[in-house]
Amino acid sequence: MINDGERREAQTENVALVTGASRGVGRGIALGLLAAGFRVYGSGRSIEQADLPREIRRLRCDHLQDEETAAVFEAIRSECGSLDLLVNCAWGGYEKMVEGGAFTWAAPFWEQPPHRWTGMMDAGVRAAFVCSAHAARMMTPRHRGLIINISFWAAQRHLGNTIYGIAKAATDKMTSDMAVELRPFGIPVISLYPGLVRTESVLAAAKSGMFDLSTSESPEFIGRVVNALFHDPNLMARTGQVLVAAAVAKEFGVLDVDGSSPPALTLGDV
């Protein structure tokens, strides 16, 4: 139970919710925002077992279940009274890439298993839509807030499989249209593209030579970029746009945790 004193203290901080914070990019964003001074909430199906510091408030949630998503926002409203930043990172579809001994991830659309659509479109795009709707209800009365949707270059060219491209293109279109409707309230919405991120799965794949990590980014790097965007006084000029995280980092002088400056990938690079 949060007492009144703790609630007043929370209201002096910027409050952020990162969905899909149990692992990977979402976990890195949560860590980056915590280091930047945010009061961070992280949601996810396995968030209770996640390797996160105790300062991050864990809210167990399957974002396929609307009532569980609603409970996350109600908890933030009860404990803080407001929400300043939502980062939609919850995502499915990377599970079961190999099924029955076959690598189905890159299969043509007519051979794709139905669960991949559910993982990417429902646990990904739809979950971001529902979370953004809850966040907007908290942000619009205050005319304050920022929504960031984590997306990728698959929105702009074929990468991996058709469902992946559909999901990322839908995410970018959702960003664009939400920005139009939230503009009168001064609330920007951004699609943010990471580069090659050293997530748990990428590090495992790199051991087999699948990835060259020389230009990769730490998961925390994306959190640092999100923090820079949040504090950009001119961010409304870019609402509705797709931004490349490493390019934003160069603009604001943001470095990775090891002091490096990851290169900004282009469509040609991917």
Q: Which residues pair with 19 in a beta bridge?
A: 43
- pLDDT bracket for residue 9 (50, 70, 90): very low
Which pTM value belongs to this model? Answer: 0.92
Q: Minimal CA–CA distance to 222: which of 270, 267, 190, 177?
A: 190
Domain boundaries, the chain: 4-252
Confidence (pLDDT) at 7: 44
Q: Is 164 a catalytic residue?
A: yes
Q: Is the pLDDT of residue 165 over 90?
A: yes
Tell me the average pLDDT of the chain. 91
Confidence (pLDDT) at 130: 98
Confidence (pLDDT) at 211: 66
Q: Which residues pair with 87 in a beta bridge?
A: 18, 148
Q: Is the pLDDT of residue 163 over 50?
A: yes
Confidence (pLDDT) at 205: 63
Q: Distance (Å, rounded) from C-alpha 46 to C-alpha 58?
A: 10
Q: Distance (Å, rounded) from C-alpha 189 to C-alpha 136?
A: 11
- pLDDT bracket for residue 206 (50, 70, 90): low
Q: What is the average pLDDT across 156-177?
A: 96
Q: Are the beta carbons of 90 and 149 closer than 8 angstroms?
A: no
Q: Minimal CA–CA distance to 132: which of 182, 78, 186?
A: 182
Confidence (pLDDT) at 93: 76
The single residue of 41, 94, 164, 193 carrying the catalytic annotation is 164
The CATH architecture of the domain made up of 4-252 is 3-Layer(aba) Sandwich (3.40)
List, in order, residues 6 or more apart from 1 with CB less than 8 Å away. none
> Which tokens go with 181?
């409707």
Q: Distance (Å, rounded) from C-alpha 178 to C-alpha 151?
A: 15
